[in-house]
Amino acid sequence: MVKGNGAAMLNARAFMKDVKKYEPEIIKIRRDVHENPELAYKEFRTSKLVADRLRGLGIKATSGVGGTGVVGLLEGGKEGRVVALRADMDALPIQENADVEFRSKVDNAMHACGHDTHVSMLLGAAMLLAGRRDELAGTVKFLFQPAEEHGGRGGAKPMIEDGAMKNPKVDYVFGLHIMNGAPAGTFALRPGAMMAAPDSFKVRIVGRGGHGSEPHKTVDPIFVSAQVINSLQGVSSRLTDQTQPLVISVCSIHAGSKDNIIPDEALLEGTIRTLDEKTRASAKRHVVRVAKTVCRAFGASCELSFMEDAYPVTVNDPKVTAKVFKVLKTIEGTKTTVYRPVMGGEDFSRFLHQAPGTFYFLGTDNPKKGCIYPNHSSRFKVDEDVLKYGSVSLAALAAEFGAQNL
């Protein structure tokens, strides 16, 4: 690597000029991935596409990282830091209903959360950076991650365990997510807690079944379930600090087989969302205590379990994020705003436990183009005009943080 003076040579303005020639290819890649969605841990076609594209740019690519993950490595022409850029690749088990020409060709699989755009935008950033590698300071790692939608072990942790953040060790890490909660072309981010820890739980309530006409001879688990569901709302309203965001939702209940049979058991499934680890631990303890106490009061018993390996809170480094904000504001045609915390979860949080960095959003909401449906909707659509901005932002962050210390 040729030694440089460490000053940032590349910026968003240069990449905005370059991206014009790459934009059609970025959109083409996005549509290809959208038509061929793959669920968590099954991203075989997508990972091959990614590896082939990286190698075609002269970027070293390693496949099979953390299962189906791909790591690309690009060394710049000047000395600098190691910056990692991440895109997730998996789709959701949803039947697509969006009115686009490139609809999913796979039954019950759809890129309803924009991961297809993440793949294409990061490959677009790779094109931009590879085209100016002699001017680039430092080394860029491209992390194409599987299984973000899994919700438990996910894909970031297996990649980390396979050494994705080492050899060379990553100094800064950045992740970008498309969203319909902000106007098209708007970057949205904040320092500190950006996204919640998503803790899934199951409550198995065991009673004693019998005839619906004689409930006094039973321990009705459906009735008890209703009391548990209502009581759990008191955890957020009465048992935890009101200044700390907390969401508890029971989203599934399974019990019974016929209108006149009180069953023996009921199964509840839900989620707890928190933005700091203290509230997270407290909420989980209260959920266990409340559920068991209510069940016991009505003569039932319960077994409660939490999903193992749930994602931690996504926390953006304040100092890094302040710099990211300044970089994003230089991208012509976009707007940058401080955004509210999001109660969804993200396993990019695991990468942030390995290196300081920032997770940020790129808005795609555009009513004129029908881009109005939220992420995870079967009608989710993306304004493809914003993809170039995502690629430029990732490339600009790699160049800036590769060249300078904070």
* Active-site residue list: 311, 384
Phi, psi of 189 (to 5 degrees): -160, 170
Q: Which distant-in-sequence residues (6+ apart) come within 8 Å of 167 by Cβ?
A: none
From the number of C-beta atoms within 10 Å of its C-beta (0-12, 13-18, 19+), residue 244 rates as middle
What separation in angstroms does the CA of 28 have from each of 278, 311, 383, 393?
45, 32, 14, 19
Report the run of H or E that residue 136 belongs to, with start and end.
none
Query: ω into residue 168 within 30 of 0, thus cis?
Result: yes
Taking each helix axis from N to C terminus, what angle separates 115-130 and 44-56, rounded to the nearest 10 degrees? 10
Candidates 199, 233, 245; CA nearest to 345 is 199
Q: From residue 176, give the alpha-carbon distance in Å to each of 160, 360, 391.
A: 18, 5, 10
What pairing do the DSSP bridges indicate for beta strands 192-206 and 314-316?
antiparallel
In this structure, how many other beta carbons lie within 10 angstroms of the beta carbon of residue 346?
25
Only one residue has tokens 């996204």, namely: 195
- Rounded Cα–Cα distance for residues 334 and 376 (Å): 25
C-alpha to C-alpha distance for 105 and 32, rounded to whole angstroms: 10
The token duo for 252 is 């599934």
